[in-house]
Amino acid sequence: MFTEKWPEGKVKLPHDSRIAVALSVILEAAEDISFLSENHLDYLDFYERQYDVRRGVWRILDILAKHQIRASFFICGAVLENYPEPCIQIKASGHEAAAHGYHHEILDRMTAEQEDTVFVRMVDAFQKLYGERPVGYRSCDPSHRTMDFVKKYGFRYDSTEKNDELPYLLQWEDGSSLLEIPRRDVDVQLFGIPRGGMREDRLGTPMIAKYGIPREVAAQLKREFDLSYEDGANNAKIMGLTIHAYLSGRPSRAKAIDDFLAYTKQFPNVWYATQAEIADWWLKQECLWSAAAR
């Protein structure tokens, strides 16, 4: 069991920045695939998701290089093993490679032993390809045990929850701790795409896609940036954006991300950071944290 601790007072960002822009890219290939019925694979979904390692991730890497921005790529362990080329290029381009499960598992449907095995396989895949363990983790579908496993396997931060705008600390009774960096907008919602490409939600209700127009998505992101930048004059702000390579790596959607990043480049005092860099900076602010849990 852990308690939550928040920074007290103002938290400054490096270089007196008003806002941190943190882009996260999900790379999962066909690991998060849909089933039309029990043991009946949705092959249309399966092949659609392979777009991320074949085309999408490369387009996103080009956009990031164009703007000289580094991002955090949350990668499934099986993707590291099956598609090593783009994963190697991610690190070679200076980006962070963080963990996103092994097979994009739904952990709350697993036993504790099964969930532990997922973490073992995931960490092992990173060590084999990169020669080092990941410092960041984002769950696909967490269980009530997941944060304990994140702590057990030595991660510096988790970025699963959506319950705040700024990082906060998870602290266990044994004195160990873990930083939570809440995630923000996700392209699935921005572009109005059914979660996981599913034709039905978990209650069996048909899901109808209402695809967002890319230029409107770019405009929405710019408005959020404007407000966060304005608020950042009084206290540090983080604007996180999560995209999936197989969705936002497609030309029209990638253009929306490109336009948004170009817009932010017009402003001074913006820190473009990976999740790991945010974690390193925030953990230095421990003297500001309140011991009281909300």
| One-character DSSP codes across 96-107 | EEEE--SS--BG
| One-character DSSP codes across 71-105 | -EEEE-HHHHHH-HHHHHHHHHTT-EEEE--SS--
Angle at 27 between CA 23 and CA 28, to 5 degrees: 145
Q: What is the pLDDT of residue 50?
A: 85
Residues of the chain with pLDDT under 70: 32-41, 185, 192-211, 286-294
Q: What is the CA radius of gyration of the chain?
A: 19
Q: Residue 228: phi, psi to the nearest 5? A: -65, -40
Q: What is the pLDDT of residue 290?
A: 56
The H-assigned helical ranges of the chain are 43-49, 51, 57-67, 77-82, 84-92, 112-130, 146-152, 187-190, 214-231, 245-248, 251-264, 275-283
The Cα–Cα gap between 268 and 19 comes to: 10
> Do the domain assignments include residue 293?
no
> Do the domain assignments include residue 270?
yes
pLDDT digits (tens, 9 = 90+) for 149-180: 999 999 999 999 988 889 999 999 998 999 99
Q: What is the pLDDT of residue 32?
A: 66
The Cα–Cα gap between 276 and 191 comes to: 27
Angle at 165 between CA 174 and CA 176, to 5 degrees: 10
Total domains in the fold of the chain: 1
Q: How far apart are the first and last CA of the chain?
A: 14
Q: What is the pLDDT of residue 200?
A: 45
Q: Which CATH number goes with the domain that contains 230?
A: 3.20.20.370
Q: What is the pLDDT of residue 92?
A: 98
Domain of 126, in residue numbers: 2-288
Task: List beta partners, residue 170.
Answer: 4, 178
> Do the domain assignments include residue 13?
yes
pTM of the model: 0.90
Q: What is the pLDDT of residue 211?
A: 55
The Cα–Cα gap between 175 and 289 comes to: 14
> Do the domain assignments include residue 152?
yes
The Cα–Cα gap between 117 and 86 comes to: 25
